[in-house]
Chain A
Amino acid sequence: MSNVISKISLYAVLVIGALLSIFPFYWMFVMATNHNSVINSVPPAYLPGPELVTNFQNVLSNIDFFGAIGNSLIVATISTIGVLFLCSLAGFAFAKYHFKGKNLLFGLLLITMMVPPQLGLIPQYYIITQLGWLNDLKAVIVPGLIDAFGIFWMRQYISSNVPDELLDSAKIDGCSRIRVYWNIAVPIILPAFATLAIIKFMYMWNDFLWPLVVLRDESVHTIQIALRGLIDAYVKDNGMILSGTFWATIPLVLIFLLFNRLFISSLTQGAVKS
């Protein structure tokens, strides 16, 4: 009997937790499909309404939604691919080669991982203006290539998964070092690529402060900055605002639901291991 009670209370806790996690998504959908006047009445709408298309048309007349999604895709994709390459290359050197100052440089990286990004914000902004990169996607992509965690992660993974013997035998066969990296190491570390790619892509896709500072012009807004533009629109239309938020959120949610095991292990593993 007590077993049944504890089982029921266990599920009660979990179901309440899950409902609280999911409810705001439902609420977002309810508002994205209702007219503003229905939302702004007492009691408000509790069920999805008929305005799905109209609200999204209003989004399109306020911001360049697809342009902003495109900018976010460009920024997140290029910096993710760049980080995978730069971090695995450097991580490979840190894991497998001996050179002077190696430990010092690696230690420097670890220390800077602890420094909050806001410390360098203003000089970074100054450098971007001096380079003439203000309102240019490069201003987000290029600094996005720096990822101290990525190097740390790659070094760990390569140290424990790429055997020295394999590299030595490839070298005896006359492979150049860059070929050893590319042909031997990279295929082995593909799982680490998947983890780092998910972490980096999500970070770049969701980043707000830095793009807000350097991407002022509407034509270069990422989706997060564009969403902020919806709030500042002249007429405060909650149906329209939540419609934009809904369509900006849903792609990532669907990808997550498809690959949720990989996402969860990647996004938490990274944190726990470091």
Chain B
Amino acid sequence: MSAEAHSPKRWNEKRKESLSGYLFISPFFILFAIFGLFPMLFSFYLGFQRWNGLGEMEFVGFQNFVFVMEDPIFWKSLWNTIIMGVLGTVPQLIVAIFLAFALNSALVKFQSAFRAAFFLPYVTSTVAVAIIFGVMFSSQDFGLVNVFFNLLGLDSVNWQTNEWGVKIAIAVMVFWRWLGYNTIIYLAGMQGIPNDLYEAATIDGATVWQKIRFITIPMLRPIIIFTIFLSTIGSLQLFTEPLIFLGGNLREEGITVVLYLWREAFSNMAFGTASASAIILFLIIIVFATVNSLLANKVFK
């Protein structure tokens, strides 16, 4: 065989293999170059131009970035995004761990029925979720949440205009749609934890809370960090829920970073500042995803 390795035939075979390799990946990579890679790189060019999408581009240096950084609405959108992200994901991940723990208990029957029920919201489109919850969180007295509030003797809330009302309503949508998804991911991780550990803890008289704190969470660490990473990235890209909930007139209480850049581009036709804000969003996502993963790494040690 080794003699053959140097023969022309073998060499030819190797060349044919490379050629097939390139041929097999080329349909994908051609499309990827045009619709994936080029747009990403071109954004960095557009960020330095003034352009309305039709006329000539004009180089303006860092002006677009300065404009965005000095725009109070941009900072408002970043603040909103972060608050809604925290409200929508932190309670969600905590509840998901408890739900998964309950579901993983050996006592539970109908496990697959519960799994299907928890997962159902994730199959629903974000638009549908925003519409359904938008009606529940109607600012009118007949909105379901306000009816409930009135029953408790509380006043109706103007969910669509109240500074915190908007954020809570949107956070609830995020919470509802993703809770089951993360529960199932945690459950998959928990099924890998040996039952002996829990049994030993039970014999030692550990409470449920102690089992979660000292067995489940440390064993799930990589998965928890992964879900924090994904939730961070996902919540910084929040767009559909506030757009549907607030309708055409984007109110400042609910504008997010992606809504800001979408509005710059397609309402204001300011493609330069929109690109600049896309680049800033990209950097923010890198920073937050890194910091949150590092923090999670420390906390769950």
Interface class of chain B by DSSP: helix
Q: What's the least CB distance linking B241 to chain A, in Å?
A: 10
Q: Among the listed B16, B99, B278, which residue makes an inter-chain contact with A14, where contact means beta carbons less than 8 Å apart?
A: B99
In the bound assembly, the distance between CA atoms of A232 and B18 in angstroms comes to 55
Assess whether A42 is in contact with B265, with CB atoms less than 8 Å apart.
no
Q: What's the least CB distance linking A116 to chain B, in Å?
A: 6
Interface class of chain A by DSSP: helix
Q: Among the listed B117, B127, B233, which residue makes an inter-chain contact with A21, where contact means beta carbons less than 8 Å apart?
A: B117
Assess whether A86 is in contact with B27, with CB atoms less than 8 Å apart.
yes
- With A127-B35, A257-B116 in contact, is A27–B144 under 8 Å at CB? yes
User: CB-CB < 8 A to A11: which residues of B?
Assistant: 108
In the bound assembly, the distance between CA atoms of A39 and B150 in angstroms comes to 17
B159 within 8 Å of A (CB atoms) = no
- With A20-B176, A206-B126, A208-B240 in contact, is A89–B28 under 8 Å at CB? yes
Assess whether B133 is in contact with A227, with CB atoms less than 8 Å apart.
no
In the bound assembly, the distance between CA atoms of A252 and B261 in angstroms comes to 31
Assess whether A127 is in contact with B112, with CB atoms less than 8 Å apart.
no
Assess whether B25 is in contact with A122, with CB atoms less than 8 Å apart.
no
B181 within 8 Å of A (CB atoms) = yes
In the bound assembly, the distance between CA atoms of A11 and B21 in angstroms comes to 54
In B215-249, the 8 Å CB interface with A consists of 223, 226, 230, 233, 236-237, 239-240, 243-244, 247-248
In the bound assembly, the distance between CA atoms of A123 and B51 in angstroms comes to 12
B65 within 8 Å of A (CB atoms) = no
Q: What's the least CB distance linking A239 to chain B, in Å?
A: 10
Chain A residue at smallest Cβ distance from B45: A123
Q: What's the least CB distance linking B211 to chain A, in Å?
A: 12
In the bound assembly, the distance between CA atoms of A52 and B279 in angstroms comes to 47
Assess whether B18 is in contact with A112, with CB atoms less than 8 Å apart.
no
Q: What's the least CB distance linking A38 to chain B, in Å?
A: 10
- With A105-B29, A146-B31, A151-B28 in contact, is A224–B239 under 8 Å at CB? no
Which segment, of B2-10, B134-142, B160-168, B193-201, faces chain A? B134-142
Assess whether B34 is in contact with A21, with CB atoms less than 8 Å apart.
no
Assess whether A213 is in contact with B266, with CB atoms less than 8 Å apart.
yes
User: CB-CB < 8 A to B114: which residues of A?
Assistant: 14, 17-18
A235 within 8 Å of B (CB atoms) = no
A272 within 8 Å of B (CB atoms) = yes
- With A105-B29, A272-B188, A272-B223 in contact, is A99–B112 under 8 Å at CB? no
- With A18-B117, A39-B142, A252-B123 in contact, is A92–B24 under 8 Å at CB? yes
Assess whether A28 is in contact with B132, with CB atoms less than 8 Å apart.
yes
Chain A 103-121, CB-CB to B under 8 Å as 1, else 0, gives: 0010011001001111111
In the bound assembly, the distance between CA atoms of A90 and B22 in angstroms comes to 9
Q: Closest 10 CB pairs between A and B? A: A120-B39, A99-B21, A93-B24, A123-B39, A97-B21, A99-B18, A123-B42, A206-B125, A18-B117, A143-B35
Report A's interface with B, CB cutoff 8 A: 6-7, 10-11, 13-14, 17-18, 20-22, 24-25, 27-28, 31, 39-44, 86-87, 89-90, 92-94, 97-100, 102, 105, 108-109, 112, 115-127, 129, 142-143, 145-146, 148, 151, 177-178, 181, 202, 205-206, 208-209, 213, 224, 227-228, 230-232, 238, 241-242, 245, 248-249, 252-253, 256-257, 260-261, 263-264, 267-268, 271-272
Could you give 12 example pairs across A and B, Cβ below 8 Å? Answer: A13-B99, A17-B118, A24-B129, A86-B31, A97-B18, A99-B18, A99-B22, A120-B42, A142-B35, A206-B126, A209-B262, A272-B185
Report B's interface with A, CB cutoff 8 A: 14, 16-22, 24-25, 27-29, 31-32, 34-40, 42-43, 46, 53, 98-99, 102-103, 105, 107-108, 112, 114-129, 131-136, 140-142, 144, 147, 150, 176, 179-181, 184-185, 188-189, 208, 223, 226, 230, 233, 236-237, 239-240, 243-244, 247-248, 258, 261-262, 265-266, 271, 274-275, 278-279, 281-282, 285
